[in-house]
Amino acid sequence: MEPYPSKSEAKISNQNLSDKKIVPKNSNNIEINRTDEPNISQKNPNRLISFLTSKIGIIVIAISIIVIAIGIFLSVYLARNNGNENNISKNKIFNDKIINNIIDKNSDYIETMKADKNSEKDEEKEKGKDEFVCKSKIPSDTLYVKKIDNLPEDFILGMDLSSLISEENSGVKYYNFKGEEKDVLETLRYVGINYIRIRIWNDPYDSEGKAYGGGNNDMKAAIKIGKRATKYGMKILASYHYSDFYADPANQNVPKAWRGLNLEGKAKQAEKFTRHSLQQFKDAGVDVGMVALGNEINDFFCGEHEWPNIVKILKACSKATREVLPNAKISVHFTNPDRPGSMMYFAKSLADNSLDYDIFSVSYYNVWAGDLNCLDQLNDVANTYNKKIFVAETQYPYTRDNLDYYPNKTPGYDDFLYYPITVQGQATHIRNLLNHIHGLKNGIGLFYWEGAWIGVGTKNYYENLEKWEKYGSGWASNASSSYSEAYFGGGGSTENQALFDSEGKPLESLKVYNLIKYGNEINTFEDGVEDISVNPINFSTFSLPNEIKVIDTSDQRSTRNIIWNGELDIEKSKNDEKYEYIGKADNIDIKCIFENNLNNGRRFVCSYYIGDKMLSPLLLKSMIRIREG
């Protein structure tokens, strides 16, 4: 037997006790009446403290405090309402001041928060612009680039990519310098391109919905390119032609929908189109930094030839731009800077008619415009009218080869070019043009035209033609002739001036946009020669040239003497079907042939080699004069 009850027994015992009602009794076994029981506080003061600190006690105390507070509030409220009206008015004014002060402080706080948030967004946006840019020198063992000193960080290094969507729809793919397939915009951003130019046509389709080609550059295509450029931190130059197809000095056709409208009607429609399309860019989140009003509008725009009429339409477009995108810059675009005084004439025409714009831009192709000095007249525009200056278009060929089975635009017969037709020559053209613009008053940058417009990669003309017609990846489709007789179907015609090869791989020349910031003055070598060919030949004055100018990769030119394998034989040179002369200028082998030309005359055609490498022949203005005489 256990001396103490077990746990189970104690539990049962306690349960039995709890079920019974215990009534106190006196010594005579008579129940005591509870009313006679002493007060708790009297019986045990500690029990009062225990009650007050219990949950029920705390609740009672809290309710009491609330009731007292309500009573005080009602007393004060009644006292105030029983006071005189002046006191009430004073109290109201005082209370209103407090409330307004609180609102003002909160409004300031909210505005500060908004500003901080916007600032954070701007910082994030600026950070995003640099995310894809190579922040160091991109190595090159073959490309010679001289550094451009003091080039501003915001200097425009621009690229026109208007045909991009049509190219991709045709199956074109692009790669980075590692040979990896990439979005071409990512590769461009990597080397430092910060602006993308996109041409915009109103309605580049015929009545059957067939596209005109040349990129099919409607707003749908423009927004696609714009969104991708914005993703990689690049701004957009929206280049409006105010036409359904290419606009240039000879072709400024009014959009089909505007035909028959008077000047007022065209101005109204131009404003409406500008406003609506810019709002589309804005809604799509495209970062439009600049808007170009027209394309190469030399004395001709939207069917108008008189400057007051031209500027009236431009004003409507400018007004819409300022209202939809107040931070975007407005440019006006001309060409033919080789004509002395022409740029000042155009700038004065805009000023005389009070056009609101920011930037004066020109096209520069040295095959037509000549050397860079023709751009110096832009200094007069900047000084007289305080306008920024940039070059809106340029190109340069890296090869003479036809890469898409359609004739190249450049080089053509008698085209004169200032650099060898090589990858190096292309890079030198870009570098020297950028440097020249940087040296102009208010010069802010350069756009390279259609740097990624390459052949569509098929094996013959007819397969290419099918893609050009279907996707608009040629310079024009057959449908374009319904809009203007000036147009007809064809291929790209400038693929030999792109900055990507026929397989979509970036040329070494694309690195120039990075290397101008660092320089890459590597060992030089011969890259081209000034051509000594002559066509047609005047045998009464002709003699074999005795020297040649050689161009190296640093654009330095040196004269070298030629030693021929024999004297000039006039009779054989005139009469033999082909008569050959061999010459040598140091390490350069020269091979020249007398042969018949297309006009039944004779020509002297030369080629130049160092070993197996053919040097690029460069035709200068002086040689054209020889050919003509």
- DSSP conformation letters of 330-360: EEEEE--TTSTTHHHHHHHHHHHTT---SEE
Closest CA to 476 of 94, 210, 171: 210
Contact yes or no for 590/584 (Cβ under 8 A): yes
The one-character DSSP state at 139 is P
Tokens 């690195």 identify what position?
Answer: 511
Q: Side chain identity at 122, as an amino acid letter?
A: D
Question: Which one is catalytic: 271, 393, 508, 526?
Answer: 393
Contact yes or no for 380/372 (Cβ under 8 A): no
- CA 442, distance to chain mean position in Å, is 21
Q: How far apart, in whole angstroms, are the C-alpha atoms of residue 531 and residue 548?
A: 8
Q: How far apart, in whole angstroms, are the C-alpha atoms of residue 295 and residue 86?
A: 73
499-534: buried (b, 16+ CB within 10 Å) or exposed (e) per residue? bbbbebbbbbbbbbbbbbbeebeeeeebbbbbbbbb
Helix (H, G, I), strand (E, B) or coil at 467: helix
Contact yes or no for 418/371 (Cβ under 8 A): yes
Q: In this structure, what token pair is assigned to residue 332? A: 């006006």
CA distances from 629 to 96, 570, 579 (A): 95, 18, 22
Beta bridge partners of 330: 291
Q: How far apart, in whole angstroms, are the C-alpha atoms of residue 551 and residue 555?
A: 6
Q: How far apart, in whole angstroms, are the C-alpha atoms of residue 193 and residue 234?
A: 8
Beta bridge partners of 578: 595
Q: Side chain identity at 71, as an amino acid letter?
A: G
Check if 208 is active-site: no
Burial class (CB in 10 A: 0-12, 13-18, 19+), 169: middle
Q: In this structure, what token pair is assigned to residue 264? A: 């007022």
The sheet that has 547-552: what strands, in order across it?
557-561, 547-552, 526-530, 616-618
Contact yes or no for 403/504 (Cβ under 8 A): no
Q: In this structure, what token pair is assigned to residue 28? A: 């005579």
Tokens 């406003």 identify what position?
Answer: 275
Rg over alpha carbons for the chain, rounded to the nearest Å, is 42
Number of H helices, E strands in the chain: 18, 17
Q: How far apart, in whole angstroms, are the C-alpha atoms of residue 367 and residue 416?
A: 6
Q: How far apart, in whole angstroms, are the C-alpha atoms of residue 502 and residue 398?
A: 12
Q: How far apart, in whole angstroms, are the C-alpha atoms of residue 248 and residue 337?
A: 14
The one-character DSSP state at 54 is S
The one-character DSSP state at 255 is P
Where would I find the H helices in 449-540? Answer: 461-471, 512-515
Q: How far apart, in whole angstroms, are the C-alpha atoms of residue 580 and residue 573?
A: 8
Question: Which one is catalytic: 271, 296, 304, 508?
Answer: 296
What is the maximal distance between C-alpha atoms in the chain? 168
Check if 567 is active-site: no
588-621: buried (b, 16+ CB within 10 Å) or exposed (e) per residue? bebebbbeeeeeeebbbbbebeeeeeebbbbbee
Contact yes or no for 394/418 (Cβ under 8 A): no
- Residues belonging to the active site: 296, 393
